[in-house]
Amino acid sequence: MQTLLDFLSFKSFISPSVLIVCYYLGALGVPLAMLGTLIWVRREATKQGFAPENLSLWTRWATHQNQLIVLALFIGMFICMEIGWRMMFEFMLAYFQMRDALIYPK
């Protein structure tokens, strides 16, 4: 009963547990949503006649070296985004740990 009262009076936070779940949902969900959006956009572009093989600009620009540069930039940005996402959640969890340490000293 005391645990329920602590929860209802905001003496006990559920945020650390919820934050971990939200972190994994975002860390796995955002790349999957991005991949799904990419597939959808390519399918829609093909239906409307904007397929890359039909565009002369694409065939001139999409050399092997340019494709490798774009791939390297994408991988670098993806890694930075995942690290930033992780750091944001670590800061929030550290806040809750500091709060617990200050309120319930040993």
pLDDT digits (tens, 9 = 90+) for 69-88: 988 998 999 999 999 999 99
Distance separating alpha carbons of residues 73 and 36, to the nearest angstrom:
20
Distance separating alpha carbons of residues 86 and 61, to the nearest angstrom:
35
pLDDT digits (tens, 9 = 90+) for 6-40: 777 777 777 788 889 999 999 999 889 988 998 89
pTM strictly above 0.75: no
Q: Which long-range contacts (CB under 8 A, 24 or more apart) does 79-82 make?
A: 81/30, 82/27
